[in-house]
Amino acid sequence: MTDPQSDFTAPIDGLSHVHGSSEPPLQHITIPDLLRQAVEKHGSREALIFTDTGVRLTYGELAQQADNLAAGLLKLGVSKGDRVGIWSPNRCEWVMTQFATARIGAILVTINPAYRLSELEYALNKTGCRVLISAERFKSSNYLSMIRELAPELATAPPGQLAAERLPDLRHAVVMAANPGPGILPFQTLLELGADADSAALDAIGAELVPEEAINIQFTSGTTGLPKGATLTHFNIVNNARFVTSRINLTEADRLLIPVPLYHCFGMVMGVLGAVSKGAAMIFPGEAFEPASVLDAAAAERATALYGVPTMFVAMLQDLDQSPRDVSSLRTGIMAGAPCPIGIMRRVNTDMHMKEVTICYGMTETAPVSFQSFTSDPADKRCTTVGRVHPHLEVKAVDANGATVPAGERGELQVRGYSVMQGYWDDPDATEGAIRDGWMRTGDLGSFDAEGFCSITGRVKDMIIRGGENIYPREIEEFLIRHPQIADAQVFGVPDEKFGEQVCAWIVPAPGASLGEEEILSHCRGQIAHFKIPRFVRIVAELPMTVTGKPQKFRMREIMMQKLALL
């Protein structure tokens, strides 16, 4: 059922305060319930397709494999509430682990595939992981080697009795390899341990699960500082997945292409759980994003929907220009994570046939989506705004004193409703700072128009104060991106002795473009206020990004401060 475009999305009493629709209704179910419903309705339909490995599973086969893995985990001594880490790129084993852990109420800790030694150690110890399930390697990362470096005791520890000095809570390491060596269990062996899975026994465990219980810990993406573990429940992510895919009118007839990482909400909630909620097929084109493999999979598998961040769509359009494919089966999808230039949106609509692509906004702490456009919204609304509020959520924009600002004015967005996380794992102070009276403080600045469309105007912490003037980087970025030779622009502040802060811009030229600092400054003069014109401009080939495609301004600031000798 599609979320109706109702009057509930309009601002209330002229204030920046919106309520989502009460339709579709919330479902009080767990992740195992969601998969069971899909099997009952769509058991013989394709569920998982991994084009790089040739793996294809129906919904019935996926559920059986998940049960086998769940039974294997039980034999390792894993029980409800235990934390199980997954450290891997996009693989079939990842999706199986997602459903297997949920089946027995174990909390899945999703670990960034780009993490290295200290980050892995931090994540495992912060959450007290009992089991780590890992790939053998990915790109330049040798996971197996890093696991052994952190836990050399694996070489001599009896099975299940690991006592590692640096990883005191870890008891088992499971690696996706045929022969990972002493002390480490091959993933296939774990699967075979549960080959005689007793469905009735698993159902009995499932009957004791409660939708409001924690089932997933996701570390915040690290655009600022040390990651925190957002703790999400079945209720949070099952319902958000349902509503996200309702807005793109996904059905069991659709084939959803998922090149975004599984460890993040975009992949595992909006992608996997969203597809399962509708009985759609999930297509994974590879372990990580490659534009050519995504387009090849879209053509070969006749995908109808596609997820990605704007930079992914830019790369796919460039590849499509060089090597045309028939992607006319595409209809819809989601673009999220960063603003989409209207020129890119129009090309996605036409060249990629995705006339119904929607824009989303949210954060891991809200499971993740709070705003999304409708497929029928005009292209300009899908580029200049993040759409309208999701069902069953309440959002307001407040000033520095916590008062709701008038509609049209800028304020910090706060979200309340079913999607707000339980809190940050083992961090009550951070939780108390983020959630007040049920309201999640997003740290994002936004405003609402008369129809309830929300525009994200920046980050509270990103605001630049130059000589007493409040400068919002998003405004400058949106102006710069209109230059035909600019592919991307990121604006941030750097310290200045006289003005407090100065405006700095990093510019990524469009393919084939030749840009200089003076050309950028000339583009700004007379068009934006003098104090918004960047004092420093750097032309770069690429930006430092998180794995999910978000620009890391704190890294840009650090690099720029070093160059300017400000550290």
> pLDDT tens-digit profile of 256-290?
999 999 999 999 999 999 999 999 999 999 999 99
Angle between helical axes of 234-247 and 31-42 (0-180°, round to 10):
40
Residue 235 in any domain: the answer is yes
The verdict on 415 and 473 lying in the same domain is: no
Assign 8 a pLDDT band (cuts: 50, 70, 90).
low
Residue type, 302: R
The verdict on 258 and 295 lying in the same domain is: yes
d(CA 111, CA 264) in angstroms, rounded, equals 9
| One-letter-per-residue 3-state SS of 161-173 | CCCCCCCCCCCEE
Assign 6 a pLDDT band (cuts: 50, 70, 90).
low
Here the CATH number for the domain that contains residue 72 is 3.40.50.980
Domain residues for the domain of 559 are: 464-563
The verdict on 549 and 454 lying in the same domain is: no
Within 13 Å, how many C-alpha atoms sit on residue 466's CB side? 20
Residue 251 backbone dihedrals phi, psi, to 5 degrees: -135, 180
What pLDDT, on the 0 to 100 scale, is given for residue 566? 64
| 405 Cβ contact list (under 8 Å, min separation 6) | 15, 16, 397, 398, 399, 411, 447
Residue 215 in any domain: the answer is no
d(CA 194, CA 72) in angstroms, rounded, equals 4
Here the CATH number for the domain that contains residue 556 is 3.30.300.30
Residues 114-131: what's their mean pLDDT?
A: 93
Give tens-digit pLDDT for 138-147.
998 999 999 9
Token couple for 497: 């002795």
Q: pLDDT at residue 4 above 60? A: no
Residue 117 in any domain: the answer is yes
Give tens-digit pLDDT for 46-55.
999 999 999 9
Chain-centroid distance, C-alpha 494: 28
| One-letter-per-residue 3-state SS of 69-95 | HHHHHHHCCCCCCCEEEEECCCCHHHH
Q: pLDDT at residue 223 above 60? A: no
Assign 478 a pLDDT band (cuts: 50, 70, 90).
confident
Assign 353 a pLDDT band (cuts: 50, 70, 90).
very high
Give tens-digit pLDDT for 17-70.
999 999 999 999 999 999 999 999 999 999 999 999 999 999 999 999 999 999
Please check whether residue 507 is in contact with residue 483, taking contact to mean a CB–CB distance below 8 angstroms: no
- Three-state secondary-structure class, residue 62: helix
- Model pTM? 0.87
Q: pLDDT at residue 491 above 50? A: yes
Residue 445 in any domain: the answer is yes
Which residue reads 């027995």 in tokens?
104
Here the CATH number for the domain that contains residue 322 is 3.40.50.12780
Assign 3 a pLDDT band (cuts: 50, 70, 90).
very low
Point out the domain boundary residue: 459, 476, 496.
459
Residue 214 in any domain: the answer is no
Point out the domain boundary residue: 444, 459, 474.
459
The verdict on 449 and 483 lying in the same domain is: no
Catalogue the long-range contacts made by 195-204 (C-beta closer than 8 Å, 24 or more residues apart): 195/68, 195/71, 196/71, 197/64, 197/67, 197/68, 197/70, 197/71, 198/71, 199/67, 202/67, 202/70, 202/71, 202/103, 202/104
Q: What is the mean pLDDT of the chain?
A: 93
Residue 1 in any domain: the answer is no
User: How would you classify the pairing of strands 393-398 and 411-417?
Assistant: antiparallel
Please check whether residue 167 is in contact with residue 45, taking contact to mean a CB–CB distance below 8 angstroms: no
Point out the domain boundary residue: 190, 209, 228.
209
Give tens-digit pLDDT for 512-560.
998 999 999 999 998 887 889 999 999 999 999 876 677 888 899 999 9
Residues 384-411: what's their mean pLDDT?
A: 95
The verdict on 234 and 377 lying in the same domain is: yes
d(CA 197, CA 205) in angstroms, rounded, equals 13
The verdict on 474 and 395 lying in the same domain is: no
- Count of domains observed in the chain: 3
The verdict on 186 and 273 lying in the same domain is: no
The verdict on 150 and 242 lying in the same domain is: no
DSSP codes, 390-442: PTTEEEEEE-TTSPBPBTTS-EEEEEEETTS-SEETT-HHHHHHHEETTEEEE
What pLDDT, on the 0 to 100 scale, is given for residue 10? 78
Between 211-215, 226-230, 338-342, 501-505, the lowest mean confidence (pLDDT) is in 338-342
The verdict on 284 and 412 lying in the same domain is: yes
The verdict on 501 and 538 lying in the same domain is: yes
The verdict on 41 and 106 lying in the same domain is: yes
Q: Distances from the Cα of 443 to the Cαs of 255, 413, 430, 461, 473, in angstroms? A: 35, 7, 13, 7, 14
Q: pLDDT exceeding 70 applies to what percent of the chain?
A: 97
Residue 2 in any domain: the answer is no
The verdict on 411 and 380 lying in the same domain is: yes
Residue 103 in any domain: the answer is yes
Q: pLDDT at residue 1 above 50? A: no
* Backbone φ/ψ region at 241: left (φ over 0), alpha (ψ -120 to 50), beta: alpha
DSSP codes, 11-24: PSTTBSEEE--S-S
